Structure 1
């Protein structure tokens, strides 16, 4: 009969004192990086979970944080949630997931609702709140902002290189000799210039400018919903319009997966006739046929960094520090949809 591992088991396996393990769980800087890494690895391997109730009674903290995202049906947010949960567990924290459905009132409630008293801090990815709502971030507890909707606020902010990574995606297609590059998922005209879609479109246009390729509005399909159906519909629209294209940059991977389906239905070979690149590096892209070349925007780094910053604020180590903005690194993950064979088994990360 298996027994629940204890802090004593972790200390014994690591050859350290119980106090050292406790310091790691509480992110005490006294523990060296090698020892810290070894203890965290053993915590994962042994499946040890701290007694959160006892810790809460002693510290006044719940050891619970929240992650508020627009929709777990979107692969990126589902995989981000998984990465946050794993990062938090290594720090002895549990995570409550709140889905806001991209609803403005629910996003405001996530920032100011009574539930905040039951958590130590919040990771918040808004879809509707924007720059004019920056004052709402001055909540009663620690908050780390994710995404592109608000900049320059009073909280720490972890985001991605949307524009430069999109530019690198188009440069990858250009390096393959593709010059008629369609963009699918571009923002509708009413969207603000700071949205992820707008920033990624800007990167697309800059790459064309750098290559002295004129902009062609017929190659840009604007779509507010980034799902498989929209990706497939975008390809069908391009074909009906008669516009020629030899590559597709989809602003997320689910759009790209829908595009792959529609290209196959039309008898177009990928990548021979049309090369395709997506954005987000979701797991599903490794197993599509062909496997999907994509931008990896640094999701794992975003999760780890956001949790670290939140823990600092919870422990009041960062109270006197100004708000910090950190952008994760990115890479192009080359697979079969742009002509890299056997990439589903071993992805090729290109320097960007």
Structure 2
């Protein structure tokens, strides 16, 4: 078992219900002082997983040295989802790990994952949990964060309203497509980033004469910080998106000739645009091209596009489970340690922003 992030030796896993911190004064002590009445209360951390990414959930539980709580989740023959917790959750801080994504291996769609999360939240609220925290490493519908045409919904806002209506007390998420999505929540939203994990990986890789290439103008801030962190130069691809899931890649602003290029984005979906971007960079004289992104949605023809794209390596994280049959040039880094530390800070009422020294909002 790996060593917990906060430095203590890894202990044997204990039931989720037994993970406590120091209790308050006893009733007898309170009565003896005559000042106030404290309730004997052990704060408990309970961790549960939906079906969207059970592998990531298990990694987090392992690092917290707790067992995942027992929960039945299933889809009825008519398509409705169901859940039931196997043990009492009364008075516990309940963390529900569920990225809002599909899991084809379990027959789960993204919409199923969202509904499953909501019924788990509702069951936890109905079971008298002290706090209910949704851990959504991938926030589905995040790209629908504004109107791009008349009479369109703002679905990212709708999902926030739905989760709050279900009863969450806070949400923990990673690398939102737009940071302003945090403003859709009335409850606390802890916005983490995998970019430090990715920058560390490429820094350790030691690529020479590296230039970071922003895939569009909207990602310049992210790529500028990424490049600065690893000591690389910055270039920009001119890209326009005339329709949903369609993009046109133009010329490059910056020098990539004879250099190693790294294209950094938050999401890889169908990878059609990423493939075109790689080809443009190579056509402009780059010797090698890499890609990095937090969320590997990988829908549609993504595997075919990535396999034929010319990338040396595509580095992503495990916020979304990688489907079987993925190309061999995809490397997955785990965000489990980051989420473990964040969960521990939330549970102990510590500072989540200090996980990054207050710099997580710079990406």
Q: TM-score, normalised by structure 2?
A: 0.45
Q: Determine which structure has the larger helix proportion and give its number.
A: 1
Q: TM-score, normalised by structure 1?
A: 0.46
Q: Determine which structure has the larger strand proportion and give its number.
A: 2
Higher RCO structure (Cα 8 Å, ≥6 apart): 1
